[in-house]
Structures are given as C-alpha cells and as structure tokens.
C-alpha cells in the first residue's frame, strides 16, 4: 500500500500530496517523499536540490520561476502555515494564466507538487513559517523570472492583501501580459 494520496488539481500536473501518518502516544512518523510511490502514481521526477526558508507573518515570496532552467518543485511546511500558489505559465496549456492555491501547514502535512512551467509563491499566514522544497534542477543565478503577486488578470485570492512584505525584486515583477518568454 502506498504511503501517499495524490490528488490532481484543475491545473494539469499540479498535485496535492497527503502523506500517511503513523502515530502513537510518542509522536508520529511519515515519509515525505518516496521515488517508488511517486513513480507508481505516474510522477517521474529526479530531485537534485533541497531548499528551506524561514519567514515572518505577511511575507510573500514570489511568484518565481526559472526561464532557461525551469524547476519542478515539491513543497511543504515544516513549521507554521502558508498559502501556497502555482500559476500556469505554459503558453499552449488550456489553463495558461490560471492559478491554484492551498493552505499548507505543519498540522495538515500536505505537500504541493508543481511541475516545470509554473510560477510559484507563498504567503506566510502564521507568526512564522519554515518552508521546504525539493527541486528537479539546480538554482541558476541570473535565470530568475518573476510575476507580480497581485496581477489583476490572474486574480489570485490571497488570504490577505494588506501588510504584505515583499522583497524589492518581487515589487518589480512584471504582469503576465508583460512576460517576454514562454514555456
């Protein structure tokens, strides 16, 4: 029996993944990734880099992608809670410009699998959050792309829009209509 439930979203290739928890009065154990289980579900990824960040409430990281070296990501929250978002940037996709969002938390243990060709970002909704993600390609400095977090043509329904804390880079991200590349 597999140790994960894989639920495909309305965006082709984006999956919500729920691990099976094994617990007792001592605590719990769970697998967060198993190549065998993922491949049995038809998800063939070779993850090569793990990243982790810590952020305060109201921090919005994103929406990010790499242009020439796109990355698939498997993301989860270790501590706290975030609202996590994927935006389809595949020009030939029937869901181009559409988004999917989900709350990921240390309590629900859910993960989001985001394939190549998507922008990704998250908003911290707890006091702090520790966020971890696996990538199937290495970070490539100078290859970063971004999309404005509140682009009205995309219409992401963030849980909050006041008091958002952005990096200077993310403040300058373009609108979807201004992107000069395609996946």
Architecture of domain 9-17+48-174: Sandwich (2.60)
Please state, in angstroms and rounded to a whole number, the distance separating the CA atoms of residues 97 and 31: 33
pLDDT, position 40 = 95
pTM over 0.85: yes
Sign of CA dihedral 54, 57, 86, 13: positive
Please state, in angstroms and rounded to a whole number, the distance separating the CA atoms of residues 25 and 19: 19
pLDDT for residue 94 is more than 90: yes
Residue-wise pLDDT for 14-55, tens only, equals 999 999 999 999 999 999 999 999 999 999 999 999 999 999
Q: Which residue has the tokens 């595949």?
A: 90
Domain ranges of the chain: 9-17+48-174
120 catalytic, yes or no?
Answer: no
Which of these is catalytic: 28, 45, 64, 69? Answer: 64
Query: Residue 76: beta bridge partners?
Result: 111, 132
- What is the 3-class SS of 103-151, one letter each residue? EEECCCCCEEEECCCEEEEEEECCCEEEEEEEECCCCCCCCEEECCCCC
Residue-wise pLDDT for 116-133, tens only, equals 999 999 999 999 999 999
64 catalytic, yes or no?
Answer: yes
- 3 state DSSP class of 169: helix
């Amino acid at each position: 029996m597999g140790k994960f439930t894989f639920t495909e979203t309305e965006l082709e290739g984006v999956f919500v993944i729920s691990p099976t928890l094994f617990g007792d009065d001592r605590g719990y154990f769970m697998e967060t990734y198993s190549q065998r289980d993922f491949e049995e579900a038809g998800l063939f990824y070779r993850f090569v880099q793990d990243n982790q960040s810590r952020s305060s409430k109201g921090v919005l990281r994103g929406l990010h992608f790499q242009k020439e070296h796109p990355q698939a990501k498997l993301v989860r929250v270790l501590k706290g809670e975030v609202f996590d978002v994927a935006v389809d940037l595949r020009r030939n996709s029937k869901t181009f410009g559409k988004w999917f969002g989900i709350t990921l938390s240390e309590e629900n243990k859910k993960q989001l699998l985001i394939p190549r060709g998507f922008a990704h970002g998250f908003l911290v909704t707890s006091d702090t959050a520790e966020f971890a993600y696996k990538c199937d390609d290495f970070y490539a400095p100078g290859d970063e792309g971004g999309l404005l977090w509140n682009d009205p043509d995309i219409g992401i329904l963030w849980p909050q829009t006041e008091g958002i804390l952005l990096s200077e880079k993310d403040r300058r991200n373009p609108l979807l209509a201004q992107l000069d590349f395609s996946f």
